[in-house]
Amino acid sequence: MSNGKGSGQGGLGKIISLVLIAALIGLGLWIVMRKGDDDAQHGAPSTGATSTAKGATPEESEASEGIVEAKGEVPRLPPAGAYVPQGDTLDVELSQYAGYSGLIVANGGLSPAEGSVLHKKHGLKLNIKLAEDEDWGKLASGKLAASATTVDVLAVYGRQLGSVVPALIGFSRGADGLVVRSDIRRINQLKGKVLVTSQFNEAEFFIRFLAREAGLPLQVLPSKDAPADPEKVNLLFATDAEVAGKVFLNDVTEGGQRLAGCVTWAPFTDEVVKQSGGKAHTLTTNTNLLIVADVLLVNKGLSEQHPKLVAALVDGLMEGNRMVRENPTAHTEVIAKAFGWKSSEVPTQLAKVHLANLPENQAFFSGAIDAAGSFGGIYQSAVMAYGSDLIKNPVSEDKLADLSHLEALEKSGAYKDQKILIAPIKSGGSKTLEGDPLLSKDIRFFFEPNSAKLEMAGESKAANEENFAAIRKLLQVSPGSTVLLRGHVDDSMVAEFRRLGGEAQVQKMALSAVQLSKDRAEDVRKYLTQRFKIDPKRVDIYGVGWNEPVSKSDHDMNRRVEVHWFTLE
């Protein structure tokens, strides 16, 4: 018992104390009850409850609150450090993606295995961990031997990754997609609209690439309530791609008008469309738009100090890709176990990727590939798409690649029977020339005065060559795609024709204008097919004449070739 101060209180003091305590308890209860009533009246969250919008479920609230502040600069990674191998085992981190099946099969699964193809052939084992968060600091600082990323991410982080690229793993073919409201039929209609995606990954690059090819500038909004620029495609960022889909779906199903679409990846693309009740559709995926290329990343210190281990890793990747390409059924169980899928899910997931072989690797890095994006092409597209505000001092892509191991494999003749086999995937949903193209863009070619012959001298030649390259790139990165070249001439002489001969003269010259615009489109097609060896069936033409001017004051803008790009879906 305490003998401290106050222990000698009498009976009256005890009674007063009890009364005071009771009063304090009553006051506390009254305050709590009053707070609860106020919260109910004003929509504030009660103590211990999840904050939700009025009438919203917790899931809807989570989706509406998934927008995050955009990063104004590329995150800084820790200083570079060399990975130190532990015996014959390398630590590798990948994500849950079918494109990495080849390396997993070569390793006999995720765990180090002495009976694997990789170990039997090279005495090498991999300890593969699956993780969805992109912590590039672990690779840069030497905590990981290798990982994988897409070329666009490589362009964003550059030398910070402290890594080299020794090989192409493969292409995504349908895993990434753009889902929009059902009334939007082409990329150009996203002008002035707001999309939601996640930052610094292939989803963001996908929409940046498409907007740039459509000639649309892009703006990142600083907050979810910031006004959209009517002349640009406006981007908001979610915590990740899955949340981006939820945010858009919530906006659509709850009657909102803020968001026009989302850029995410499978299976979220399919889920959003299915749950939208017909209010959203997939505008495009990368099924036949091969600009999302996964590459192997190896810690630079490991690459420099242990080149034989990297050579074994590259050969293991090529061998594993070959095994899965040639006989996917034989390796279904290993893939299913690694990714936690049902065996029946494996074929569907493998159908969304293209695992690269050796000649495809060589063509990818040399730029000779003609049915997909090249290493340099995708890298430079990413640098231009992100702009100098984010990628301030881009490093040349050749400084990040080490092709010595691919070159050694070629000399060995190990995969001499392999061929480049990248073909269009036809799902029955291809767009016709009578329908909406994926995007359209105006290009001004220079012709000799009053002629359908291209001006191929001086500054005009340089400008024309650049325009040809732009059209060629569209056809190159998308196997099976086609372009429609719509020729236009200006209408600056219409008033003069009317003065000289009335409406009859105007109609006569209008027919001549249509023929001239068609002839000019034909000369562009001829150059494309002869210079770049493009199949003539992939290029169609149409003469518009002066019937569709884009400017009433600048007649130069009306002398143009409008390019419509039709992709297979």
Give the helix/strand (H/E) hosting 350. helix 346-350
How does pLDDT run across 86-107, given as a tens digit for each residue? 899 999 999 999 999 999 999 9
How does pLDDT run across 490-528, given as a tens digit for each residue? 887 888 888 888 888 888 888 988 998 999 999 999 999
* pLDDT band for position 458 (cuts 50, 70, 90): confident
The stretch 162-175 carries a mean pLDDT of 96
- Burial state string for 183-214 with b = 16 or more CB within 10 A and e = fewer than 16: ebebbbbbbebbbbbbbbbbbbbbbbbbbbbb
DSSP, residue by residue, 431-500 = PPTTS--SEEEEE---B-TTSSSB--SHHHHHHHHHHHHHHHHHHHHSTT-EEEEEEE---TTHHHHHHH
Q: pLDDT at residue 139 above 80?
A: yes
CB-CB contact of 224 with 30 (8 Å): no
Q: What domains sit in the chain, N to C, each tagged with a CATH number?
A: 76-169+293-412 (3.40.190.10), 176-285 (3.40.190.10), 439-566 (3.30.1330.60)
The stretch 223-228 carries a mean pLDDT of 92
Q: pLDDT at residue 198 above 90?
A: yes
Distance CA 236, CA 259 (A): 9
* pLDDT band for position 442 (cuts 50, 70, 90): confident
* pLDDT band for position 150 (cuts 50, 70, 90): very high
Q: What is the mean pLDDT of the chain?
A: 87
Q: pLDDT at residue 58 above 80?
A: no
The stretch 530-536 carries a mean pLDDT of 91
3-state secondary structure 28-83: HHHHHHHHHHHHHHHCCCCCCCCCCCCCCCHHHHHHHCCEECCCCCCCCCCCCCCC
Q: pLDDT at residue 444 above 90?
A: no
Residue 428: the pLDDT is 54
Residue 105: the pLDDT is 98
